[in-house]
Structure 1
Amino acid sequence: MTKTPFKIPCVILSGGKSSRMGEDKSLLPFFSSKTLIEFQYKKLEQYFNYIYISSKSDKFDFLKDKSKLILDKNHDISSPILALQTILKKFDKVFIIPVDTPFVEFKTIEKLIIDSNSFDITIAQTPFKTHNLCGIFTKNILPFIENMINQDIHKINYLIKNSKTQIINFENEDEFLNLNDKNEYQKALNYIK
């Protein structure tokens, strides 16, 4: 079956500190790719017509087209709220996924996109976790985000709870495996095998 690429843009979040990993997780070797970010980018490139990387710096050797990089250099702190502000100044509606969630499937992304039409935020949830940064975000939340930043509030959960949000349930916890530390990284490498 040939998959028709999604028309909305995709942005991979890759600007975090990776403090629990102890090194930049986006640059770790992953499966057949030189880095995790390259693996994620090439996988999602099959699903989307337009794909971008959000980061605080250009650290991606494989990315030849620098227009695909959304840099958030204006702030000293790493915050998904600041990244969302920069992204939503560029796009009206976007699918966002963290670099460290490499196993989300096409059908899952498709459901999130299809079911997102009357909501400002549509995110995924599995039995044990809500995935606050895996889903659809619209420009409608930009004024609220800017207000949060002015009040120095950087909690993504605060944004989710105070927006027109839809949470969609999925059963497969492994599909949303998040690579936060060395154990989860090893688990992901074993999962691929």
Structure 2
Amino acid sequence: MTKIAMPCVVLSGGMGRRMGQLKQNLPICDSTLADFQAKHLKQVFINVYFSAKTRIVNAYGVPTILDDNKIESTTIFNPDFTAPIFGLRSALEALKCDIFILSIDAPFFDDAAIKVVFEAFNGNAIFAKNAKIHPLLGIYPFESLSQIKAQIAAKNYRLTHLLSAINAEFVEIPESKTRNLNRYTDYQNACVDLIN
């Protein structure tokens, strides 16, 4: 498969509250989840980036787009400020082009799933869908940045509202490929499945 020219941004800004630790540091397949995703995605995309509040350490030289907005950097903890919409804004502002988004905790979203998304892409926002929609598995056009900024200004951080506002389209992807690691039991099951 020829490498994809559109940049891939791995959203990694969550606090891992349900997991009990930062997800990027989870040991998986003899490395960390950050290294697992970096290794895989560098084989698929020409340019890969992490997006987070602090630099994501990895063995593959994948840089981090920092979300350094002064409002979100307040010393008073506010869970709203870890919402993925802030990472989307930072990535689109930094790269100034359409971007493929993947959540760091979605290790089963493989080459075949990525290919399905790109084959369906016609310039509009497009995301994986099965029993539910997956706003962190798909493509955000650069033009969606204005709506993202408007929602942040309105303190509306819901990605479902964003997808509706940008007239997102969806492509069917099997649930087995959109699994994410929200809780420690999800992580334990993933370790077994990725080894087998």
TM-score, normalised relative to structure 1: 0.91
Which residue of 1 is the match for residue 44 of structure 2?
A: 47
Whether 2:134 is the aligned partner of 1:136: answer no
1:156 CA displacement: 0.8
> Partner residue of 1:19?
17
Give ranges in structure 2 of 5+ residues lacking alignment.
74-80
Q: Distance in 1 between matches of 2:58 and 2:172?
A: 36
Correspondence for 2:66: 71
Match runs of 1:1-193 below 5 Å: 3-33=1-31, 35-62=32-59, 64=61, 68-74=63-69, 75-76=72-73, 77-89=81-93, 90-119=95-124, 121-126=125-130, 128-170=131-173, 172-192=174-194, 193=196
TM-score (norm 2): 0.89
In structure 2, relative to structure 1, the CA distance for the partners of 1:186 and 1:54 (3 Å cut) is: same
Letter in 1 for 2:64: L
Q: Distance in 1 between matches of 2:60 and 2:83?
A: 23
- Asked if structure 1 preserves the Cα contact closer than 8 Å seen for 2:128 and 2:134, the reply is yes
Task: List alignment gaps of at least 5 residues for structure 1.
Answer: none
- The RMSD of aligned alpha carbons is 1.4
Percentage of matched positions with identical amino acids = 31
| Preserved CA contact (<8 Å) 2:54 2:66 | yes
